[in-house]
């Protein structure tokens, strides 16, 4: 039996409830239409107190936390770079683990990292081409756009976000929380509610031997992660169709 308690505090301007939650991108200044300044700075602190009351591996409680430090800017308004936007995202976690007590296969908490660290989580520039196309390059969380589900902002447990089959793939997972990799993403939005996006990412995010570090190491057999997705409106919701694959070879997790 798991007993969770959740607290969240934020230092930021008021925003629409429809905007994304922690670990997902929010509306940038250039998209807000009428923002007083061409940049935005946010601090969001999330805390969870969880206890394993029965079953699992061991009884006990754990305090987990997450600090998001986000700066984004409209470079067109700041320096005259037409259609460009900058996003910088720092992250801190205390590294405590509820999974050690529960013995879960899918993480109970979506802010658990298992490693105490402060790191650069994302750093990218997005260049727009007209009203419907864009190119994004830099350290990038693919789950901010790919396989992104609204349920991830409502529930604590990680399976409500990106699919477990994708989240637990690769040598160090794909480029998602808490380790991201260098990426290039193209996107096209031909009509309202429709989107086509594709990305090429470093096949091994960060440094598996030093999980507290932000590291970009290309080559060494890492290969690449290729991912594509089509989003379409469907009866008040959305339909996502996508495909992903790694070009590098790595050991299977099922022992086959």
Tally of CB atoms within 10 A around 58: 9
The whole-angstrom separation of Cα 61 and Cα 55 is 13
Q: What is the fold, at CATH topology level, of the domain defined by 2-246?
A: Porin (2.40.160)
Query: Nearest CA to 222 among 205, 203, 209?
Result: 203
User: Over the stretch 175-232, which tens digit does the pLDDT of each residue have?
Assistant: 999 999 999 999 999 999 999 999 999 999 988 888 888 878 777 778 999 999 999 9
User: Over the stretch 49-97, which tens digit does the pLDDT of each residue have?
Assistant: 999 988 888 899 999 999 999 999 999 999 999 999 999 999 999 999 9
Query: Nearest CA to 40 among 29, 48, 54, 32?
Result: 29
User: Over the stretch 217-236, which tens digit does the pLDDT of each residue have?
Assistant: 777 778 999 999 999 999 88
Query: What DSSP line would sit under 158-210, residue for residue?
Result: GGGSS-HHHHT-TTT-SSBTTB-EEEEEEEE--STT-EEEEEEEESS-S-TTS
The whole-angstrom separation of Cα 141 and Cα 149 is 14
Tell me 30's DSSP state: H
Reported pTM: 0.82
Residue 68 has a pLDDT of 95
Determine contact, residues 107/158, Cβ cutoff 8 Å.
yes
């Amino acid at each position: 039996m798991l007993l969770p308690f959740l607290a969240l505090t934020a230092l930021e301007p008021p925003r629409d409830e429809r905007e994304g939650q922690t670990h997902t991108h929010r509306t940038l200044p250039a998209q807000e239409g009428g923002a007083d300044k061409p940049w935005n700075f946010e601090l969001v602190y999330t805390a969870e107190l969880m206890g394993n009351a029965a079953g699992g591996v061991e009884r006990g409680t754990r305090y987990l936390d997450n600090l998001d430090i986000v700066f984004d800017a409209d470079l067109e308004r700041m320096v005259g770079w037409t259609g460009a936007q900058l996003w910088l995202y720092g992250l801190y976690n205390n590294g405590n683990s509820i999974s050690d007590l529960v013995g879960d296969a899918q993480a109970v908490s979506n802010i658990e990292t298992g490693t105490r660290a402060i790191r650069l989580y994302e750093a990218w520039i997005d260049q727009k081409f007209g009203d419907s196309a864009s190119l994004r390059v830099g350290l990038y969380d693919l789950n901010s756009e790919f396989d992104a589900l609204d349920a991830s902002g409502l529930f604590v447990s990680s399976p409500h976000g990106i699919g477990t089959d994708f989240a637990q793939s690769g040598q160090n997972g794909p480029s998602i929380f808490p380790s991201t990799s260098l990426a290039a993403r193209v996107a096209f939005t031909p009509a309202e509610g429709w989107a086509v996006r594709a990305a090429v990412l470093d096949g091994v995010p960060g440094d598996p031997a030093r999980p507290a570090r932000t590291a970009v190491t290309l080559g060494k057999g890492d290969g690449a992660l290729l991912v594509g997705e089509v989003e379409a409106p469907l009866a008040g919701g959305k339909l996502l169709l996508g495909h992903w694959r790694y070009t590098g070879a790595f050991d299977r997790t099922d022992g086959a």
